[in-house]
Chains A and B, each alone.
Chain A
Amino acid sequence: MNRFIVPLVAFALLVVVLAIGIRQSPDKDLIPSPLIGKPAPEFSLPSLTDPGQRVSSTQLRGHWYIFNVWGTWCYACREEHPMLLKIRKAGVIPVIGLDWKDDRGDALSFLKDQGDPYATIAVDHDGSEAIMWGVYGAPESFLVDPQGIVISKFIGPITEAQWEQQILPRLSMSPGPAAASASSS
């Protein structure tokens, strides 16, 4: 009897290891970003609404922002749109758009019809900026802190739960101007 215990335990351990491996493998769709905890890529790109203007990362320094990669060709981005409008309405964090390999006319008419949730939109016409951010699908969103550090990445549409549990609590935790004014009152 005793001599079966060691192989049995070893087998059970192997099963556990393989089970964890199999459980995690569907997360191939959610590859963790190496940018988390690191400075967000610096960029300076033309604005969608006003191609003469540029949208740059230096303008965004000192503020929390959500960097949202989207395109009118992307179906899941349309699904995400109401959530982005809701975030805009909440007014606590700007959403910076990256219009990824899109047609300018399509993008402008989409925003006119469906509402514009973005504080500003940068244009990535040839897709090279998306590579800088390690984007491999749309929508993808990055939460960036006032120091310009990537705090988290959301692959696929931002959900209500992610907004309430992973984005909002972060903002109130930061020693931003809101926290400072709250402590002084």
Chain B
Amino acid sequence: MIVIALVASLFFSILPAYAIAPERMPTPQLEARYLALIHGFRCMQCQDESLADSPVNLAADMRRQIRDMLIAGKSDEQIRDFMVSRYGYFILFKPPFVLKTAWLWLTPGVLLLVGVITALTVIRKRAALAATDLEDNDLTDA
């Protein structure tokens, strides 16, 4: 019984972690854009959490900054540019495809291509080798 109570209390102690007060926006449209934006930015202090999920003060300040900019009529693009100009691409969970990040996006594709080419050449060589083996056998037989 005590164990169940303890486990239950553990479970309920986790719940307040979700209790970051949802900051309301004046219209549903702005609210939707606000939510999309804050999920796309990294909290610079906790780094693996988004601004939407982070309970730290800095994240709250940055959410306020984003709300102020949205209400001031700034576009999503302008808000993203503002954040990147201050904190760098690191603040975006999905880094953009630019010269600086090209290797990040291209490396997996290049590695895959190299793998496929290597596999194909090896398979071709083996097939050729097997063929010549057969011919050799034919010759020795003859």
How many angstroms from the CA of A35 to the CA of B90 in the assembled complex? 14
Instruction: Tell me the number of A-to-B contacts counted with CB atoms below 8 Å.
Output: 44
Q: Which residue of B lies closest to A126 (CB)?
A: B61
B41-62, CB under 8 A of A: which get 1 and which 0? 0001101000000000110011
Binds A, one of B3-11, B12-20, B24-32, B81-89: B81-89
Q: Tell me if A43 counts as interface (CB < 8 A to partner B).
A: no
How many angstroms from the CA of A32 to the CA of B64 in the assembled complex? 24
- Are A34 and B85 also in contact (CB < 8 A) when A136-B44, A137-B45 are? yes
- A34 near B87 with CB under 8 A, answer yes
- A28 near B47 with CB under 8 A, answer yes
CB contacts (< 8 Å) of B114 on chain A: these are 10
- Are A31 and B88 also in contact (CB < 8 A) when A128-B65, A131-B65, A136-B45 are? yes
- A133 near B86 with CB under 8 A, answer yes
A1-36, CB under 8 A of B: which get 1 and which 0? 000000100100010000000000000100111110
Q: Which residue of A lies closest to B58 (CB)?
A: A136
Q: Tell me if A63 counts as interface (CB < 8 A to partner B).
A: no
Q: Which residue of A lies closest to B103 (CB)?
A: A17
- B61 near A130 with CB under 8 A, answer yes
Contact size range, B? 10 to 19
- A134 near B88 with CB under 8 A, answer yes
CB contacts (< 8 Å) of B61 on chain A: these are 101, 126-128, 130-131
CB contacts (< 8 Å) of B58 on chain A: these are 127, 130, 136
CB contacts (< 8 Å) of B118 on chain A: these are 7
Main secondary structure of the interface of B (DSSP, over half): helix
B81 to chain A, nearest CB (A): 11
Q: Tell me if A132 counts as interface (CB < 8 A to partner B).
A: yes
CB contacts (< 8 Å) of B47 on chain A: these are 28
How many angstroms from the CA of A35 to the CA of B83 in the assembled complex? 11
- B45 near A101 with CB under 8 A, answer no
CB contacts (< 8 Å) of A35 on chain B: these are 85-86
How many angstroms from the CA of A132 to the CA of B83 in the assembled complex? 9
CB contacts (< 8 Å) of A132 on chain B: these are 86
- B62 near A131 with CB under 8 A, answer yes
B78 to chain A, nearest CB (A): 15
- B86 near A34 with CB under 8 A, answer yes
How many angstroms from the CA of A137 to the CA of B47 in the assembled complex? 12
Q: Which residue of B lies closest to A6 (CB)?
A: B118
- B84 near A34 with CB under 8 A, answer yes
How many angstroms from the CA of A31 to the CA of B44 in the assembled complex? 9
How many angstroms from the CA of A133 to the CA of B88 in the assembled complex? 11
Give the B-binding residues of A (Cβ under 8 A): 7, 10, 14, 28, 31-35, 101, 126-128, 130-134, 136-137
